[in-house]
């Protein structure tokens, strides 16, 4: 432990339930709920729990799940038997519905509990913000942004983010949703497509033919009809492989500061999918924990109440490093952890630091093969210009 103390002047809450971490999507499925065990382990070994209010979350109730999802879908999720072996994508079981039971969204033992636990944690985080009992609420078990009203998609069954934002809207006039997962936040965008009280902003790899889910082009900004209040309230930042910390930070700050200025949100929901990190099994970017977490730091400094959700992240040790570091950012103690985050510029030596006479292991990041950067600065400038033009139509 690093002598971590509570932040001055604001409250951070941590929403967690050990029920979530025990579930398995299947032996070789990329989504590993036990990355939450690693995250929690780092957070507590650094002593961060002393600086937060820690809540054991409950499962979301049926009524809470159907605040967004259809009853048909939730009933089916609650009643369907687990599939003993993962199904072949090419031979989906015709008895199964709602996109369930394929290889992306398998039917595993305890699925309903997993879904309702994720929803419950995010909803508890939202309620803390609504009660003004928390300034930053952390729910790493949430962030499942692809789930639709009546459909599972991309490892997501229940959209805990949408359920949490609906809760925030009871108290907050406008909510800004930001998504730094490497995939497009399509489920959240679609859910609030017709609303001018939620602005959604997703940064993602975009390739309609080869990368899931294939949506989120720069020009997709909400309903085309000017009579629809949701017009111009969906912002998409499509990127190519290999984007670096410097470029991502540059874009993030330019896009988000304009959105905040125009939209004047009263709360922020930040999905911190860690598959945008270098070395991710599914992702294609080159971000380090430093670049990824700078998004959290930037949002924190806006001084707007915020929920931090998890999301994707398929190299579990990197996920834990990022989310532990971002928890440290939330409580304003990142400098105590910074010295243990490996800085690859100084490779190949391993940084080991001393604290109180003890050696702290470095938490070096698994980087894999560096990805070629296919993001020319000119493209990034065009993105910023397009966002500026869209936001001309938005008034708080």
d(CA 346, CA 360): 18
Per-position b or e across 270-285, b if 16+ CB within 10 A of its CB: bbbbbbbbbbbebbbb
Residue 179 within binding range of Ca ion, rule CB under 5 A: yes
> Cβ distance 325 to 287 under 8 Å?
no
**Residue 186: C-alpha distances to residues 154, 159, 162, 193, 328 (Å):** 10, 11, 11, 10, 29
**Residue 362: C-alpha distances to residues 34, 150, 351 (Å):** 21, 44, 6
Q: Is 204 a catalytic residue?
A: no
Residue 204 within binding range of Ca ion, rule CB under 5 A: yes
DSSP E strand boundaries for the chain: 12-16, 53-56, 136-139, 175-179, 198-205, 234-239, 267-271, 306-309, 353-355, 358-360
Judged by beta carbon distances under 5 to 8 A according to partner kind, the member of ligand VJV, Zn ion, Ca ion, none in contact with residue 283 is none
d(CA 349, CA 189): 44
Shortest Å, Cβ 183 to ligand VJV: 3
Candidate list 155, 157, 192, 309; residue touching ligand VJV; CB under 6 A? 155
Residue 39 within binding range of Ca ion, rule CB under 5 A: no
d(CA 204, CA 201): 10
Shortest Å, Cβ 21 to Ca ion: 24
CB of 179 or CB of 245, closer to Ca ion: 179
Candidate list 120, 142, 273, 316; residue touching ligand VJV; CB under 6 A? 273
Judged by beta carbon distances under 5 to 8 A according to partner kind, the member of ligand VJV, Zn ion, Ca ion, none in contact with residue 89 is ligand VJV
Residue 311 within binding range of ligand VJV, rule CB under 6 A: yes
Chain-centre distance for alpha carbon 221: 20
Candidate list 54, 67, 103, 264; residue touching ligand VJV; CB under 6 A? 103
Shortest Å, Cβ 183 to Ca ion: 6
Residue 245 within binding range of Ca ion, rule CB under 5 A: no
Residue 29 within binding range of ligand VJV, rule CB under 6 A: yes
Range 151-190, binding Zn ion (CB under 5 A): 181, 183
Choosing from 15, 184, 204, 233, the catalytic residue is 184
Q: At 43, list the tokens.
A: 């957070």
d(CA 29, CA 254): 36
Q: At 235, list the tokens.
A: 């912002």
CB of 69 or CB of 146, closer to ligand VJV: 146
> Cβ distance 303 to 340 under 8 Å?
no
**DSSP sequence for 175-235:** EEEEE-SSS--HHHHHHTTT-SSEEEEEEEE--TTTSTT----TT--S-S-TTSTTTT-EE
Q: Which stretch binds ligand VJV (CB under 6 A): 9-17, 66-74, 142-150, 295-303?
A: 142-150
Q: Which stretch binds ligand VJV (CB under 6 A): 39-47, 138-146, 290-298, 350-358?
A: 138-146
Shortest Å, Cβ 48 to ligand VJV: 24
Shortest Å, Cβ 259 to ligand VJV: 21
Q: Which residues of the chain form contacts with Zn ion (CB under 5 A)?
A: 181, 183, 273, 275, 312
Residues contributing to the site for ligand VJV (CB under 6 A): 26, 28-30, 89, 103-104, 144-146, 154-156, 181, 183, 212, 273, 275, 282, 311-312
Residues noted as catalytic: 184
């Amino acid at each position: 432990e690093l002598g971590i103390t509570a932040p001055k002047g604001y409250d951070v809450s941590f929403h967690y339930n050990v029920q979530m971490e025990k579930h398995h999507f299947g032996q070789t499925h990329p989504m590993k709920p036990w990355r939450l065990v690693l995250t929690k382990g780092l957070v507590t070994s650094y002593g961060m729990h002393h600086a937060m209010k820690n809540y054991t979350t409950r499962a979301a109730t049926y009524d809470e799940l159907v605040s967004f999802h259809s009853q048909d879908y939730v009933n089916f999720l609650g009643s369907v038997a687990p599939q003993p072996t993962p199904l072949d994508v090419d031979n989906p079981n015709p008895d199964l519905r709602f996109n369930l039971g394929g290889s992306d969204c398998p039917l595993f033992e305890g699925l309903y509990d997993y879904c309702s636990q994720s929803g419950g944690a995010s909803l508890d985080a939202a309620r803390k913000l609504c009660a003004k009992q928390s300034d930053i609420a952390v729910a790493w078990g949430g962030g499942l942004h692809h789930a639709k009203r009546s459909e599972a998609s991309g490892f997501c069954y229940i959209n805990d983010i949408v359920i949490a934002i609906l809760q925030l809207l009871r108290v907050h006039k406008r909510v800004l949703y930001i998504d730094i997962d490497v995939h497009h936040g399509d489920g959240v965008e679609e859910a609030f497509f017709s609303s001018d009280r939620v602005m959604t902003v997703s940064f993602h790899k975009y390739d309609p033919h080869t990368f899931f889910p294939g949506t989120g082009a720069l020009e997709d900004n909400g309903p085309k009809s000017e009579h629809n209040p949701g017009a111009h309230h969906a912002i998409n930042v499509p990127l190519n492989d290999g984007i670096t910390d410097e470029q991502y930070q540059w874009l993030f700050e330019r896009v988000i500061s304009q959105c905040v200025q125009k939209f004047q949100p009263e709360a922020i929901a930040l999905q911190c999918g860690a598959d945008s990190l270098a070395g991710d099994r599914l992702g294609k970017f080159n971000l380090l924990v430093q670049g990824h977490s700078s998004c959290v730091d930037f949002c924190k400094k806006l001084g707007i109440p915020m929920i931090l959700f998890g999301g994707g992240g398929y190299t579990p040790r990197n996920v834990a490093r990022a989310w532990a570091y971002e928890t440290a950012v939330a409580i304003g103690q990142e400098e105590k952890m910074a010295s243990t985050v490996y800085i690859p510029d100084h490779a190949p030596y391993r940084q080991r630091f001393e604290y109180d006479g003890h050696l702290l292991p470095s938490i070096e990041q698994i980087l894999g093969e560096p990805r070629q950067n296919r993001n020319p600065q000119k493209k990034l400038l065009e993105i910023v210009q397009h966002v500026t033009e869209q936001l001309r139509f938005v008034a708080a």
